Amino acid sequence: MLYLIISASLILRLINLNQSLWLDEAININNVKALDFKQLVLNYSLSDFHPPLYHLVLKLNTLILGSSEIAVRIPSVIFGVLTVYLTYLIGRKLFENKTALIAATLIATSPLHIYYSQEARMYSLAALLAILSLYFFVSVTTKASIHNWLGFITATTLTLYTDYLPYTIIPVYLAAIYFQRKKFTNKLLISFIPAFILMTLLLIPWLLVLPKQLAVGLSAAAASPAWASVVGSTDLQNLLLSFVKFTIGRISLDNNHLYALLFLPIAIFISILFLMSIFRISTARIIIWFWFFIPIILGYLTSFIVPVFSYFRFVFILPAFYLILSVGINSVNISKFVRAFLIFALLINLISLSIYLLNPKFQRENWKQATNYIHTNASSNTIVLFEQGQSIAPFDYYNKGRIKSYGALNGFSADEFEIKQRLNEITSDQDKIFLFQYLSGITDTQGLLFREISNAGFINVSTKDFNGVGFVYEFNKYPN
């Protein structure tokens, strides 16, 4: 059964792996191709606002496999499949084989976990390292061998070098140690002190860089409050949305009321399973509930200072989510009900996953098709403009220098005078302009760039819409 689950998890994560790269993936890949290992750590990581480990992994991967869509996503696929296996191991260690198999089945088919197992970003690696850290923590509490201590220290340190929200696993461990202090020997309790000190020492090289990175991130958030709300906002709706996305992935409806109404039966079912799981909480097992709720709470509170609260940043707690559901499913001693609960939970996953895999609307930004459209319709004197201070990374990835592209703004917000100056510089000898609407809702809410292109003697002759990218406007110059 476990082999079937692992095989299915791999197959599901390979479907549609060649989707177009979206903005953050392309930024990652363009930089790992252009920079060496040292530059990735000391330069690129400052603006990316993540620790550097994943960038180094991606750099090594591109040197071996290349930089195609499939090649750059293969590591995340592997990390995702290994996370499924470790979910099983933790479930078996803390509960029993049946609960472990149910949890592995659910995370193997999880639409949100599959989505981020197909993305060239750090979230799949962070999820793997976090659950590996938890596995060794649980192992240490049952058998404090050198092997388990080294595994715990190494996995936890690597997790902290991968992403920031997984730093919340440290409070998880502290809470678990406190609640289990009477069960642990004094020797074991004391042993955690040098372990955490060693992790801190190993993290010092990055902690020296962190203040610079934090300053860059806060400066960017202050320069564009609208952008800050996109990357993570603190409000009750965003908190509730996280639980929705954990369950059904990234699929959604434009009508929020209908969306909530359709999700209501699923929410009731999930809530019932969470309540049923409470009956199997014990001192040794409570870490699973800590692992799920403490990061959510701390992430939410942190977002009042730094805008980081967004559901996709919590992929590392998905194993805990499915373990809790599995505990609830298997808490009923009647096999008929266990099967019914499992089938319903599995149907939620598979239906949501099918919608994601079959409907391009819920897939990644289609920069590949948008760039092909530009190449097909460009003339010899064509430029591409973006509502940014520079060209957009996914366009650069697919364009490969064929068509000149520019950012038409000087920063995060449009200024009419600066736009006029910029257009005079770059359009004087051009007869065709392609304007990407992408992110204009943040950087150019009044449509100044579109208007100034028209005032500069160009007419909008065609408009195309590409999934996730938005409208692409084609302008031709008025004949003299």
Query: Which positions ≥6 away from 341 have C-beta within 8 Å?
Result: 273, 328, 329, 332
**What mean pLDDT, rounded, does the chain reach?**
91
Q: Are residues 192 and 113 in the same domain?
A: yes
229 band by pLDDT with thresholds 50, 70 and 90: low
The pLDDT assigned to 204 comes to: 93
Q: Do residues 344 and 413 both lie within one domain?
A: no
Do 96 and 116 sit in the same domain of this protein? yes
Task: Let me know whether 295 and 438 are in one domain.
Answer: no
Query: Domain of 417: which CATH number?
Result: 3.40.190
Residue 92 has pLDDT above 80, yes or no: yes
pLDDT score, position 134: 97
Question: Does 255 score more than 80 pLDDT?
Answer: yes
One domain for residues 437 and 335? no
Residue 190 and residue 48 share a domain: yes
Structural domain count, the chain: 2
AA identity, residue 113: H
pLDDT over 90 (residue 271): yes
pLDDT score of 399: 95
Are both 45 and 185 inside the same structural domain?
yes
Q: Are the beta carbons of 78 and 120 closer than 8 angstroms?
A: no
More confident residue, 305 or 155: 155
Least confident of 13-17, 211-215, 271-275: 211-215
Using the predicted structure, report yes or no on whether residue 223 has a pLDDT greater than 60: no
Residue 12: give the domain boundaries.
2-362
What is each CA distance from 124 to 3, 240, 317, 333, 430, in whole angstroms? 21, 22, 11, 34, 44
Q: What is the 3-state secondary structure (H, E, C) of 388-401?
A: CCCCCHHHHHHHCC
In the predicted model, what is the mean pLDDT of residues 338-355?
Answer: 95
Write out pLDDT tens, residues 19-71.
999 999 999 999 999 999 999 988 888 778 889 999 999 999 999 999 999 99
Q: Which pLDDT belongs to residue 299?
A: 92
Phi-psi label, residue 307: left if phi above 0, alpha if psi -120 to 50, beta otherwise: beta
Report, in angstroms and rounded to the nearest whole number, the Rg of the chain calculated over CA atoms: 24
First to last CA, the chain: 73
Helix, coil or strand: residue 466: strand
Residue 436, H or E segment = strand 432-436
Question: Tell me, what's the pLDDT at 228?
Answer: 56
The phi and psi torsions of 236 (rounded to 5 degrees) equal -65, -40
Last residue of a domain, one of 330, 362, 394: 362
pLDDT at site 241: 87
Q: Which of 362, 386, 418 is the last residue of a domain?
A: 362
- Judge if 19 and 107 occupy the same domain: yes
Task: Please give the full DSSP string across 299-324, using - where no structure is assigned.
Answer: HHHHTTTS----GGGGGGGHHHHHHH
pTM more than 0.85: yes
pLDDT confidence tier of residue 424, bands split at 50, 70 and 90: confident
Residue where one domain finishes, among candidates 335, 362, 389: 362
Q: What pLDDT was estimated at residue 219?
A: 64
270 and 413 belong to one structural domain:
no
118-154 pLDDT, tens digit per residue, is 999 999 999 999 999 999 999 999 898 999 999 999 9
- Shared domain for 75 and 171, answered yes or no, is yes
Question: Is the pLDDT higher at 256 or at 87?
Answer: 87
Classified as helix, coil or strand, 361 is helix
Which range is most confident: 299-313, 329-343, 457-471? 457-471
The answer, yes or no, to whether residue 396 has pLDDT greater than 70, is yes
In a shared domain, residues 171 and 319: yes
Model confidence at 111, pLDDT cuts 50, 70, 90, reads very high
The verdict on 355 and 395 lying in the same domain is no
